[in-house]
Amino acid sequence: MTILTSLAAFIVAIGVLVTVHEYGHYLAARLMGVKVLRFSVGFGKPIYRRLFGRDRTEFVVAAIPLGGYVKMLDEREAPVPERDAGRAFNRKPLAARSFVIVAGPAANFLFAMVAYALMFMIGVPGLKPVVGEVEPGSAAAASGMQFGDEIRMVGRHRVQDWDQANLRLLDHAVRADEVSVVVIDRDGRERVRSIALENRRELLGEGQFLTRLGLRPYRPALEPLIGSVERGSPAAEGGLQPGDRVVSVDGDGVETWETWVAAIQAAPGQPLQLRVIRNGDTIELTVVPAEVETDGERHGRIGAGVDTDQPQLREISTLVRLGPVDGLVAGVARTWEVSILTLRVLGRMIIGEASVKNIAGPVTIAEFAGMTAIIGITAFLGFLALVSVSLGIINLLPIPVLDGGHLMFNLVEWIKGSAVSERTQLIGQQLGLVAIAGLMMLALYNDITRLFG
């Protein structure tokens, strides 16, 4: 069920983002008077084909949903009838061609702005940035961070939840050696903690940034109350229902949700005898956790969520919800922040201060797609926006075969006053394909090592 959800969410996400990107190229081409021959979402054998418009543009959905393209009339690719010569891409002025090229990545950034805006308008649930465990010997511990500190400001920016705190702290880690964090301690007093960030190789290594910084969000001990049950999951098949309170697992008492989760994760594929209380009655059930693999470790999962309407959880929960205007402003700001942060992290990777193991491949992306789809619409919108920004940035890298490579050739043409020779472009495209293939192999390698250790 989890695999199918991840696969479906991945296909939807890639389909949406590729369509957005290629539509940017398509719309810009039409605005510049370029004739578009084909608009394809996916590669390989077409599974849907239809002709539209005065130009009879062929719209195609192909079998392999890992990309797409817009094919324009171009004399460099095939002979062009004299009546259409003025509408060929290669005949257009340099500025017009550059506009068509940059429109694809621009569409991805615009989509991210809208997705983030919708996310903020719907409402982003989160946890207040209250510190739980502080790892001894870590940068957070050296700053004086303590259990119960609630983070209010990171640098000059106010934060309301752990998502914002993580983003601000990570941004400072890739560009500064120190950051001042304003907190309210357990006694209600305002404190300033200065966190040293100069050890970037450690902080930007593989794994969760907050963990490497030495911080763990505070999570209260929750009662083992079932709040939701996924349809078709082991929990549903075993008879668990929302409102059930788990009393014991294989005879061992269960006092907290954390204990309950640990028992499930430790028994993949093994029948567990449960005792639950439902409407005052004690009921015995049998549940067999599905076996899932995360970060190379196998553990059990049953598809049941905690009841979030518990007093101790409500105390640290927060909801960031904005109106249309403020939401749009926040969407633009978040897109800018994520874009700049991504570029800075890429720069740190190039000079060896950030781990290339953080580059995600299709398996990891699919896993996060499924996870966010299960969590809800706001989480999935945030995922789409993040991947859309990444696609926009990657496509603008000055690598031939990517949009950024074509813009690089256009820049050379503008400087020297004539087009780059076809031989030079061919050699560049071959080198670009090698670079892209290498990047894909690295991403797949990261996926494989994460899954199998």
Cite the active site residues: 22
What single-letter DSSP state applies at residue 106? H
- Residue that the structure tokens 């006053």 belong to: 417
- Residue that the structure tokens 């075993």 belong to: 238
What's the CA gap between 30 and 19, in Å, rounded? Answer: 16
Token digits for 105? Answer: 């990545």
What's at 386, amino acid-wise? L
Whether residue 264 contacts residue 289, with contact meaning beta carbons closer than 8 Å, is answered with yes
What's the CA gap between 200 and 90, in Å, rounded? Answer: 46
End-to-end distance of the chain based on CA atoms, in angstroms? 24
Q: Which of 239, 246, 243, 227 is nearest to 286 (CA)?
A: 239
Whether residue 283 contacts residue 219, with contact meaning beta carbons closer than 8 Å, is answered with no
C-beta atoms surrounding 313 within 10 Å: 17
Whether residue 112 contacts residue 389, with contact meaning beta carbons closer than 8 Å, is answered with yes
What's the CA gap between 51 and 34, in Å, rounded? Answer: 17
> Length of the chain in residues, anyone?
453
Please provide residue 283's backbone torsions phi and psi, each rounded to the nearest 5 degrees: -125, 140
What's at 168, amino acid-wise? R
Q: Which of 209, 100, 261 is nearest to 195 (CA)?
A: 209
What's the CA gap between 42 and 443, in Å, rounded? Answer: 20
What single-letter DSSP state applies at residue 130? B
What's the CA gap between 249 and 84, in Å, rounded? Answer: 74
